[in-house]
Structures are given as structure tokens and as C-alpha cells.
Amino acid sequence: MNSIFSIDQLEEVAKQILAQNPKKVILFHGEMGVGKTTLIKQLCKSLGVTGATSSPTFSLVNEYEADDNQLVYHFDFYRLNDEVEALDMGIDDYLYSGNWCFIEWAEKIPNLIPQTHSVITITLLDDGKRSLQLS
């Protein structure tokens, strides 16, 4: 899936992503400030998460519950020093739980990512819109 969108189209983009039936582990790539967290918040909302969502920059992971009692995990590994820290927090239990795992800065844990995953790459365009590629 490839899409060019503005921020006011985020709800529709999230629905399009979920309609593609991506793998439950999704890596989000893009420069800082491009909108990875904002998109993840909208994906959570589209999955039925009703509580507040926020970036887990300091906690590394936030857990949310969706309408159908499924869990959604949002990881932000920007501040992670090495893969051992991720292992110490029990990353394997999360990644192989069968629940949604949205991961920002996954390049910090390249050897821990399950073989089966999806990737969303977001790029900021000159006109302020975003280009999104789901693979």
C-alpha cells in the first residue's frame, strides 16, 4: 500500500492500513517528528482503544485495550541503549503474544524482530503531506 495524505486524512489512512490485514507486529520507520506516534494513536483508535494514548518514550511500552478485549502494545525504543534492555523488559513475550505490537525505532532491536512483520515507512513531503508505504 502506498498513500500520500495530510494530517486531516489520518483517520481514513488508519482504516486503509487495517483493511490491508497487516501482520500484527508493525515497525514504523521515519524521521523524528514525521508523525509515527500520531499515526499509531489513530490506529489504536481505529482498533477500538477508547482511553488516552501517548508516546512511551520513557516507559518503552504502553499497553492499551481495544473494544474486543485484544491488547495493543506501543513501543518506542528511541532511548534504548541496546537489545539487552529490550530482552530484560520481556520483549519476546510481547512480540510473540499474538497481540498488536506497534514499534517505533525498531532499528534499535534488529535481531529481536520476528520474521513475520509489516513495515510502515512515513516520509514528510515538501508540501507538508506525508508519504506512507506499507510492506
**Partners of residue 126 on adjacent β-strands:** none
- 112 burial level (CB within 10 Å; 0-12, 13-18, 19+): middle
pLDDT, tens only, 21-31: 999 999 999 99
pLDDT, tens only, 103-133: 999 999 999 999 999 999 999 999 999 999 9
Average pLDDT along the chain:
94
Q: Considering the domain 2-134 in this protein, what is its CATH number?
A: 3.40.50.300
Q: What is the pTM of this model?
A: 0.94
Domain limits, the chain: 2-134
Q: Where are the beta strands (DSSP E) in 66-129?
A: 71-76, 100-104, 118-124
